[in-house]
């Protein structure tokens, strides 16, 4: 197995390149959804609704939580 790879960015190197930022954000969103232990259907619905409302998964879930915490 080839274990060689190119490092495109390290923490502290300055601004993260767009191609690295996309991968990091996608991994963060996936990690958040998995930590919630939702069904695959629920995960897909959240991804779809976030995309439809032009938000990230994190922004979408944050909006859901904040809405549910609003006093009635």
Q: What is the pLDDT of residue 72?
A: 61
Per residue in 5-55, pLDDT (tens digit) is 677 777 777 787 787 788 888 889 999 999 999 999 999 999 999 999 999
SS (H, E, C) the chain: CCCCCCCCCCCCCCCCCHHHHHHHHHHHHHHHHHHCCCCHHHHHHHHHHHHHCCCCHHHHHHHHHHHHHCCC
């Amino acid at each position: 197995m080839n274990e060689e790879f190119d490092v495109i960015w390290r923490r502290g190197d300055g601004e993260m390149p767009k191609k690295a930022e996309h991968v990091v954000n996608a991994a963060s969103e996936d990690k958040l959804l998995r930590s919630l232990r939702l069904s695959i259907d629920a995960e897909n619905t959240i991804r779809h609704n976030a995309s439809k409302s032009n938000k990230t998964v994190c922004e979408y879930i944050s909006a859901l939580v904040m809405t549910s915490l609003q006093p009635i």
